[in-house]
Structure 1
Amino acid sequence: MRYDVIIIGSGFSGSILARILASRGLSILLIDRARHPRFVIGESSTPIADLLLRRIGLQYGFDDLVSMSTYDGWQQRFPKLACGLKRGFSYFDHRPVNTTRRESVLGERSLLVAASPSDESSDTHWYRKDVDMYHFGMAAEAGVDCLESVQVIDFHSEDTNGPATVTLNNGTKATGEFVVDASGAGTVTARFAKQSAITEQLTTRTCATFAHYDNVQPFTTEFNSIHSDQRASVPFDSDNAAQHHLIDGGWVWMLRMNNGITSVGVTLSAGLTHESEQEARRKCYELLDQRLDAYPSLHHILKYAQRVEPCDDMICLPRLQRLYDPVISQNCVMTPTTAAMIDPLHSTGIAHALSGVHRIAELILGQKAHDAESLEQYRSSVVEEAKLIDQLVNIAYGSMRSFRRFTAATMIYFAAAINCEEAIIDGEVPDYLWMCGDTEFRNVVNQCQSLLFGDQPDDVVIDSIRSLIQPFNHVGLMDDTLHNRYAYTATKTSL
C-alpha cells in the first residue's frame, strides 16, 4: 500500500491532522495499536488550545471544530459528547497534613484565575474516550484509511526525500511520502530509528497516579462550608476549573465532566535517583488509593467516590517527562506531544498538540515537508516550547514550599499564556507559543527563577517578580487588592 502520508496514532491530534490532509485530496493511512473508545487522559483545554482549534476549524472548513472551541458551542452542537466546563484555574493549599485550616484572610490558601469571562465562552475539559473516538470517526468519514488494533513492528526511513516504510503486525507493509508519529508515549519512530531521548535537558522530575471516578463531591461546597461564605464561588465556581490541590511534595488534580465523571490524579516530585522516583511513585499510588485520607477536606469529597476507569486498577506512571528531537528524518516528524511530555500542572498538552496539527498541516500542504529550513523551524519550535514549559513547571514545583511563592510562580506562566493568546487573536499563530521566542521574556523567567529559588523573604521576592513581569502584565496579575481572585485575566470572548 502506498500513501501520501502515514500517521501513527489516532488520538485527537493524529485524527484531526489526518482529516485535514484527506480533505485536501491526499491519501492518508491512520494506524493505532489500540481501539476506540479507550481510556486516555490529557483532558484540560485552555484559551490557547481553543483559539488554535477554532483557527484550524475556520481555515479548513470544519465547523464542528469551531463549535468545540467554546463550552456553549460544544453543548449546542454536541449535547451527548461528554466534556467539562472549564472557567479557569483554581488552587487550594491543604498543608500541613491532618489539618483543616481556615484562611485568616481571603486568598491566603486559595487562588482562582479566570480564563474566560462567561460559561458560554468557557474552555472545556475533554472526555477523551468520547472525544478521540469522535475525531477518529470524522477522519474515517473524510476518506482516511483507518486501521485499529495493529502494531508497528518495523519503520524504515532514509534521510532523503524518498518514501518511508511502515510494517505492521498483520503483515501489511505501507509506504508513505511522509510519516507523522502521533503515538504519544509510544514514540514509535524514535525507537525504530534508534534516536535517543534528550530528556536530560529537562529539569522537572515528577510521577503520577490517576483514574476516573464517579461520585466525587464538590470541593467548592466543602471550602465554602469551612469558611461559612462563598469564597470558592467567586469569580467562578472553583469546581468548574482545572482544580489544583497542593499537598506535601506535589498536588492533586480534579477535572469534572458533565457526565458525572471526575478525572483525579496525584502528581509528586520524584527526586533525582531511581530509589527516590520509586518511593514517590509508591506514595502517589498510596495517596490516591486511600482517597487522600491525610488531607481531611479532600478525603471528605473522595471517600465515597468509586473508580470507573480503568476498571482493574489506577494508572501509576514513573517519571512523566520525556523529550526527543521531533524531526526523525526529512520525511518523518513527531507531533509535539509525542516528542515532549512535561507535566499536567499548567494544562499545556492540548494546546501543544494542536499547534503540531496546525504546523504539520501547513508543512505538508505547503509542500515544505522536505524543506530543511522549515523542518528546522518545526524542531526549534517544539523543543524550545517544551523547554520553557519545563522551566515554568519546575519553578512552580520549586516554589511550593510557600503558597505565596507558588502563586507568584503561576503568574509567570499566566503572563506567558495571556500574551500568547493576544498574539493569536491579533494575527498569525506565532512561531513560538508561550512567549518562548521572546528573549526579554526568557530573561525575566530566569531572573524570577533565581528569586523564587533563593532565600530572600516572600515579600521581597513577590515584589521583585511583580516588577519583573510588569512589561508583560496587561491584565492586572499580582494585584494584592484582588486577594487572589482574578476575574478579568481572560482574553477569550464569546466567539
Structure 2
Amino acid sequence: MREHHAVDVAVVGAGCGGSLIALLLNRIGLSVVLLDRGSHPRFAIGESSTPTADLVLRDLAQRYELPALLPLSQYGTWKANYPQLTCGLKRGFSYFHQCPGQPFRPLSDHSNELLVAASSDDRHADTHWLRSDVDAFLVRQVQAAGIPYIDQTEFIAEQCQPTWKLSGSRENIPLSITAKFLIDATGEAAFLPHILGLTNKTSRMRTNSRALFAHFEGVTPWQEMLVAQNADLDAYPFRSDIAAVHHLLQEGWMWQLRFDNGVTSVGFALEGGCQAGPAKLSPTAEWNALLERYPTLADQFADARVVAPERGLTRTGRLQRRWEPSAGENWALLPHTAGFVDPLYSPGLAQTMCGVERLVGLLEQHWGRESLPERLAGYQRTVAAELDLIDRLVHGSYRCRHHFDLFVPYSMLYFAAATTYEQRRLEHGFDPGKAAPAFLCADEADFQAIVGELQQRLEHALASPDRRPASDRFFAEVAEAIAPYNHVGLCDRTVHNMYHHTAVNP
C-alpha cells in the first residue's frame, strides 16, 4: 500500500533549521511534512549560538506560541528546564595568537589575546548546542505537534507546476508527497540545487578554507593552561574557555567549544593555501602534525581522545559553497543550504534563525497572494547580501590573522554589526508584518561601504613596512568608521583587549 501526503509545504532536511521551520509553518496554519534521509540522534557541528540567534529564537517561540522552545534561548533557562539536553556555557568570544614552535605566553598588556563578552552573567549567557541532543529534541517537538515526519528515506522530487511531487520508499512501503511549496534545509547536501540545476557560485567567494574536526574527551580547559602560564586572570571579563575559543595559527585557526558533559568540540579551519599535505597524511597524522607545531596546544591535548563521530576525525574539502538563486516561485533554500562561508565568528545558527524568521513571516503574510514571488525575490537578495558580508568579514580576518594588532580592530567590524542588530531589535522590536531585518546589518549600504573601505585600508596596513604606525593608524580608521555602529564601547585602547561590557541583554 502506498503512503501519500498532500500538503502545503514539504521541508527536506530535519536538522535544527528544518525542524524549526516545520513547527512554525504548522503554527501559522499551513500543512507541512518534514522529510529526512537520515535519522536522529546524529553527529553534527554548527554548535555555537550567539545573542542574535538567541534573540530570534526567543521571539519566534513567543510570537508563534511554542513555549517548549523558549528555554533554549538562554543558558540559565536551558539548564533549569532541560538538564537532559547537553549544552555548554558561552559567555562570549576569546582569541589567542599562537606562534609556531613557541609556547603560548600571555603578555602583560594582553596584546596577544582578545576577549569579548556577549552576556553579563551565566544565567543570560549563550550556549553551545550538542547538536545530536538538540536536533533530536526538535524532531520530537515536530512529532508531538502532529506533523508527519518521514526519516531514513531518499526522495526524488519533480517540479510539476504549480505543485511538487516527491516519491520514495521506506521499509519497502512506497511513499508519495504532493506539495505546493518546497523548502530545502539539507545544507551541504544541496537537495534542491542539484534538482533544479542552480548556479554554483562558490568560485567567486573570497574565503577559501577547509576543516579537520571531532569531539574529544580529556581536553585540558584552556583556562588551566593560562593559569600554568601565570596569566593575569583578574583582567578577564569571563573564564576564557566558557566561550567560543579561537586560536589563530599560521595555517588558519582552531576552535574549542566546551560542553557541560566533559566533551569539547574541536576543529582546525585551515586556509586553502596552507595545507599540510592532506592527500599524503591521514586525518589523525595531520591533526598530530598540527598540534606538534604549537607546544601549548599539544600539552592541552596530551590526554585527549576522540569520542565522536564514530568515523573519527573528519576532514573536509573546501568549506565554502554558494548557490543562486536561493528562492523561486514555489521553493526556497534556507541560508545554510544557499551557502556557507566558515565557522569564524559563529554565524551559522544566527543566520539560520534569521532566515527561518524571514521566510515564515513572508509565507504567513503572502501565502496564496500575487505578492509572494516578489517577497521571495526579496528573501533571495537578503540571503545573498548576508553571505557576501560574512565572506568579506571572514576573508579579511584570515588575511590579518598573523598580525594580531590588525586582527583585533578588524574583528570589531563583526562585533559592531552584531551588537547593532541586537540593540535595534531589543529597542524597536520586530513587526511581523514587515520584512525581517538582515543578519549583521547586511542590508545597509552604508555598512557594506564601511567594510569595503576598511578592507582596502587593511591591505595597505599589511603591505606597510612600518608595522607599529600602520597598526595604530588602522585601529584609528576602524574606530572612526564604525562609530555609527559602535554602541558598546568597541575599539577602546584602555581596556587592553578585555571587553567586559558589550553584552546586549533583554
Counterpart in the other structure of 1:436: 442
Q: Structure 1 stretch 213-222 or stretch 327-336: which is displaced more?
A: 327-336
How far did 1:364 drift? 2.3
Counterpart in the other structure of 1:264: 266
Cα 1:362/1:260, change in 2 over 3 Å: same
Deviations 1:274-330 (A, max 9, x none): xx7684687894442457122111111111111000122211111101111253531
2:113 is equivalent to residue 110 of structure 1 = yes
Counterpart in the other structure of 1:65: 69
Counterpart in the other structure of 1:468: 481
Instruction: State the secondary structure of the residue aligned to 1:415.
Output: helix
| Counterparts of 1:463 and 1:26, CA distance in 2 | 52
Q: Structure 1 stretch 204-213 or stretch 63-72: which is displaced more?
A: 63-72
Counterpart in the other structure of 2:295: 296
Instruction: State the secondary structure of the residue aligned to 2:30.
Output: coil
Code of the aligned partner of 2:419: I
Cα 1:461/1:469, change in 2 over 3 Å: same
Alignment RMSD (CA, Å): 1.9
2:505 is equivalent to residue 492 of structure 1 = yes
1:173 to 168, 172, 176: 176
Determine if contact 1:202/1:390 at 8 Å carries over to the other structure: yes
How far did 1:106 drift? 2.4
Determine if contact 1:330/1:369 at 8 Å carries over to the other structure: no
Deviations 1:354-402 (A, max 9, x none): 1122122122222347712101110011110011001000010011120
Counterpart in the other structure of 2:426: 425
Instruction: State the secondary structure of the residue aligned to 1:255.
Output: strand
| Counterparts of 2:277 and 2:196, CA distance in 1 | 33
Q: Structure 1 stretch 128-137 or stretch 244-253: which is displaced more?
A: 244-253
Counterpart in the other structure of 1:100: 103
Counterpart in the other structure of 1:42: 46
Code of the aligned partner of 1:249: E
TM-score by length of 1: 0.94
| Counterparts of 2:368 and 2:112, CA distance in 1 | 49
Deviations 1:394-421 (A, max 9, x none): 0100111201111111111100111111
Counterpart in the other structure of 1:309: 308
Cα 1:414/1:228, change in 2 over 3 Å: closer
Deviations 1:62-84 (A, max 9, x none): 12222111000101110111000
Code of the aligned partner of 1:261: V
Structure 1 unaligned spans of 5+: none
2:57 to 53, 59, 81: 53
Determine if contact 2:199/2:325 at 8 Å carries over to the other structure: no
| Counterparts of 1:213 and 1:384, CA distance in 2 | 36
Counterpart in the other structure of 1:236: 238
2:207 to 204, 211, 229: 204
Code of the aligned partner of 2:130: Y
Counterpart in the other structure of 1:31: 35
2:189 to 174, 186, 191: 186
How far did 1:16 drift? 1.2
Counterpart in the other structure of 1:249: 251
2:149 is equivalent to residue 146 of structure 1 = yes
Determine if contact 2:86/2:259 at 8 Å carries over to the other structure: yes
How far did 1:18 drift? 0.9
| Counterparts of 1:246 and 1:259, CA distance in 2 | 26
Counterpart in the other structure of 2:467: none
| Counterparts of 2:430 and 2:298, CA distance in 1 | 46
Deviations 1:86-111 (A, max 9, x none): 0000000111x121142443221111
Counterpart in the other structure of 1:163: 163
Determine if contact 1:94/1:245 at 8 Å carries over to the other structure: yes
Instruction: State the secondary structure of the residue aligned to 2:225.
Output: helix
| Counterparts of 1:114 and 1:282, CA distance in 2 | 41
| Counterparts of 1:284 and 1:420, CA distance in 2 | 42
Determine if contact 1:369/1:375 at 8 Å carries over to the other structure: no
Counterpart in the other structure of 2:14: 10
Q: Structure 1 stretch 425-434 or stretch 330-339: which is displaced more?
A: 425-434
| Counterparts of 1:473 and 1:135, CA distance in 2 | 36
Cα 1:284/1:380, change in 2 over 3 Å: farther
Determine if contact 1:181/1:188 at 8 Å carries over to the other structure: yes
Q: Structure 1 stretch 420-429 or stretch 120-129: which is displaced more?
A: 420-429
Determine if contact 1:212/1:261 at 8 Å carries over to the other structure: yes
2:94 is equivalent to residue 90 of structure 1 = yes
TM-score by length of 2: 0.92
Number of equivalences: 484
Instruction: State the secondary structure of the residue aligned to 1:80.
Output: coil
Counterpart in the other structure of 1:477: 490
Identity of aligned residues (%): 35
Determine if contact 1:19/1:142 at 8 Å carries over to the other structure: yes
| Counterparts of 2:457 and 2:29, CA distance in 1 | 53
Matches within 5 A, 1:371-410: 371-410=372-411
Q: Structure 1 stretch 6-15 or stretch 470-479: which is displaced more?
A: 470-479
Cα 1:113/1:280, change in 2 over 3 Å: farther
| Counterparts of 1:52 and 1:326, CA distance in 2 | 24
Cα 1:239/1:482, change in 2 over 3 Å: same
| Counterparts of 2:393 and 2:368, CA distance in 1 | 31
